[in-house]
Amino acid sequence: MAETEENGEPLLRLSEVSRSYGERKALHPLDLELFPGACTALFGHNGSGKSTLLRIACGRDRPTTGTALFEGRPVDEDDPEVRARVAVAGDTVAFYPDLTVREHLELITVAHGVADADLWLDQVLADRRLAGHADQLPSALSSGQTQALQLAAALVRPRDLLVLDEPEQRLDPSARTGLAELLRGEKADGVAVLLATHQPELVHAVADHVVVLEDGKVLARGAPDVLDGLDAANVDGPSGGERAATPGGGR
């Protein structure tokens, strides 16, 4: 990775990627580059194409046109190198119903050959406030705890790129604050972060670059301040009311 930083080469380069589902164009051609230690946020309405772009970025889906390259090689989740270096907390939750929280995370540490796995695992459980639920089955978790487990699964393993789909969903305010701190820590460790979010506060807190999508097209992009210049009706997500929320304002 040091070589990548020295050369100023992106870790991930998406060139003219688009995605169609039949006649429907979910994503129009766009370019995106991700660098170690930097965070890019995708922002936009439901259905604007954020998850579609994330799936292409982590190799879970192939673009209809264009190329997606991770250090010069096609991004494909079937590629062991890509799987080893790209951690994802996506929009689908899939857990084994008969494995506890701890057992899920242990499985991931074994698969990725994590050294000192027990120590690391206890740390991640504590940080995600799951320590008291380590021996529970996924069915016993609240929705926020399930979200925390998804995030823990991405954090308990090594990574150079962290891809998160609306990680703020279902988290309480203090957990959301912790999320911003966590992502700043990832950047400080040299991890490239790509996230989709409906929360402008999270964009301002962690993103170096934001891409605003509308109907699969780029509406705006640049520093987080670009959000301030946009019509709220265009960029508000389902939690867009948060932009105007005041203490005690009903959320």
Ligand X SMILES: Nc1ncnc2c1ncn2[C@@H]1O[C@H](COP(=O)(O)OP(=O)(O)OP(=O)(O)O)[C@@H](O)[C@H]1O
Region binding ligand X by CB under 6 A among candidate stretches 20-28, 76-84, 128-136, 153-161: 20-28
Kindly tell me which residue out of 17, 34, 41, 48 binds ligand X, with binding defined by CB under 6 A: 48
Q: One-letter amino acid identity for 123?
A: Q
Region binding ligand X by CB under 6 A among candidate stretches 28-36, 49-57, 67-75, 154-162: 49-57
Select from 202, 139, 136 the least CA-distant residue to 168. 202
Kindly tell me which residue out of 21, 185, 222, 225 binds ligand X, with binding defined by CB under 6 A: 21
Place of tokens 């970025």: 57
**x/- map, 180-209, ligand X, by CB under 6 A:** ----------------x-------------
* 57-69 residues labelled b (16+ CB within 10 A) or e (exposed): bbbbbebeebebe
CB of 163 to ligand X, least distance (A): 13
The helix/strand/coil state of 238 is coil
Kindly tell me which residue out of 5, 16, 47, 222 binds ligand X, with binding defined by CB under 6 A: 47
Is residue 26 at the binding interface for ligand X, with CB under 6 A as the rule? yes
Kindly tell me which residue out of 36, 40, 50, 154 binds ligand X, with binding defined by CB under 6 A: 50
Pick 46 or 139: Cβ nearer ligand X = 46
If phi > 0 it is left, if psi is from -120 to 50 it is alpha, else beta; for residue 19 that is beta
Output the six-digit token pair for 226. 């670009």
CB of 201 to ligand X, least distance (A): 17
CB of 198 to ligand X, least distance (A): 7
Kindly tell me which residue out of 49, 90, 167, 200 binds ligand X, with binding defined by CB under 6 A: 49
Q: How far is residue 47's CA from residue 103's CA, in Å, rounded to a whole number?
A: 34
Region binding ligand X by CB under 6 A among candidate stretches 48-56, 104-112, 202-210, 222-230: 48-56
CB atoms within 10 A of CB 89: 21
Alpha helix positions (H), the chain: 2-7, 50-57, 80-85, 101-111, 117-127, 143-155, 173-188, 200-206, 232-235
Q: How far is residue 16's CA from residue 179's CA, in Å, rounded to a whole number?
A: 31
Q: How far is residue 40's CA from residue 159's CA, in Å, rounded to a whole number?
A: 16
Is residue 46 at the binding interface for ligand X, with CB under 6 A as the rule? yes
Pick 26 or 230: Cβ nearer ligand X = 26
CB of 21 to ligand X, least distance (A): 3
Select from 239, 225, 178, 191 the least CA-distant residue to 44. 239
Pick 22 or 97: Cβ nearer ligand X = 22
Is residue 92 at the binding interface for ligand X, with CB under 6 A as the rule? no
Catalog residues that contact ligand X under the rule CB under 6 A: 21, 24, 26, 44, 46-52, 196
